[in-house]
Amino acid sequence: MSNVQALASPLLAPPEPGLTAQDMIARAHALIPTLRERQAEAEAAGRLLEATNDDFLRAGFYRVVQPRRFGGYEFSLPDYVRVMMEIARGCPSSAWVLALVSGHPIMLADFDERAQEEAYGNDGDYRCPSVGSPVPVKREDKGFRVSGGWDYTSGCDVSTHAMVSGLVPEADGSMVARLMLVDRKDYAIVDNWRMMGMQGTGSRRVIVEDVFVPEYRTAPMAMWQARGANAPHANPMYNGRKGSFFLIELGAVVVGTVKGALDLYDELCRTKKMRFSPKVALYESHEFQQYYGDAQALVDAAEALLLKVTEHYIEACVADPRTGGDFSEETDRRLFCAAQQACRLAWEALEIIFTTAGTSIGARDSMLARVYRDASVQKTHFVQQRSRTAVNAARLHFGLSQLTPF
């Protein structure tokens, strides 16, 4: 039986078989006020709150793109983006955890079927961050002996697994990077997350000590760039390159974060008055009408661009090499650059909002200040460095090799 045939029959049913994507988006939107009320608590706790994690579990958010045969809802990637944007409007840190953890079934699809069956288990509850920066590991019979530490493991506190990364020695002396799926019982957490923004993500360090990982529970990190060789799932969204998908994950949070800032700015314009005569409400002032209109246009453009990138990603996943189609490295990089541009448009809108809302919103406990701090840390992520990606996109266009993986 082929791998494709083996994955065709369902093993688990989702918790709510009749749930629609629109239902899930509505649930995310309804949660915005609660998430805003919890922002300060999440920041103080330095992690995703258990109450919020429980809400996410009940709503089915972690299963949004999880394969249907493994108890997920297998909704479309544009619907995934819409759900994550709504959550980010309420709390950027909570959305960051949710987007990365709930998006990683796309990565697990590159693993052996046995690894997928073990990960989803008997109930389909799979929550798994991933971390790069591979450490050297030792080969053992039919697997690897793993010890090491990895920083920035967003959501590790509430996850069932983690994908850590190791450098595997090959017979020719080279080292190949692989992702390695470990269970929650096999890693410890070090609380080293002290940040000016995104503190509520709990992106702590995980430690693995002398754990054996079977080879079938690993996958080459090259699969982050390469099309799934055996196309193991019928839905093509699982079989595309992973580089640009990573930017879609993060972009949904970035755009949603600034949509939330625009919500707060709207409220401010309706309730705050001009400092100088005539002391009308800000929204009645031509000056603030200009500010709001410019910010709104940028947010709308960012959202439209990110959704279009997501649609193009699926089109590339559908491309069949047998009929002349190809999800090429250049396509991946161009989608990557376009998603970065969506983030830049959103952050440009946030600059307008923050710099015109008045000095009082710079107070430490201001919600707009918290959003601004979160966005400032979002910008530092290595995949958001636009010049690096632009150079790689141009090199691939002109037939040259890329300089870096992203």
DSSP code per residue over 256-285: HHHHHHHHHHHHHHHH-B-SSSS--BGGGS
What pLDDT, on the 0 to 100 scale, is given for residue 314?
93
Domains delineated in the chain: 3-120 (1.10.540.10), 135-220 (2.40.110.10), 240-397 (1.20.140.10)
Q: Does residue 382 or residue 186 have the better pLDDT?
A: 186
Sign of dihedral through CA atoms 80, 84, 328, 165?
Answer: negative
Q: Does residue 78 or residue 140 have the better pLDDT?
A: 78
What pLDDT, on the 0 to 100 scale, is given for residue 343?
96
What pLDDT, on the 0 to 100 scale, is given for residue 4?
39
Across the range 358-362, mean pLDDT stands at 92
Structure tokens at 157: 């506190």
Give tens-digit pLDDT for 257-316: 999 999 999 999 999 998 888 889 999 999 999 999 999 999 999 999 999 999 999 999
Q: Does residue 186 or residue 110 have the better pLDDT?
A: 186
Structure tokens at 10: 């369902």
Give tens-digit pLDDT for 7-50: 545 678 999 999 999 999 999 999 999 999 999 999 999 999 99
Model confidence at 170, pLDDT cuts 50, 70, 90, reads: confident
Contact between residue 157 and residue 93 where contact means Cβ atoms under 8 Å apart? no
SS3 (DSSP) at 91: coil
d(CA 250, CA 84): 9
d(CA 65, CA 49): 23
228, pLDDT greater than 60 = no
d(CA 201, CA 213): 27
Q: Is 198 left (phi over 0), alpha (psi -120 to 50) or beta?
A: left
What pLDDT, on the 0 to 100 scale, is given for residue 152?
94
Model confidence at 6, pLDDT cuts 50, 70, 90, reads: very low
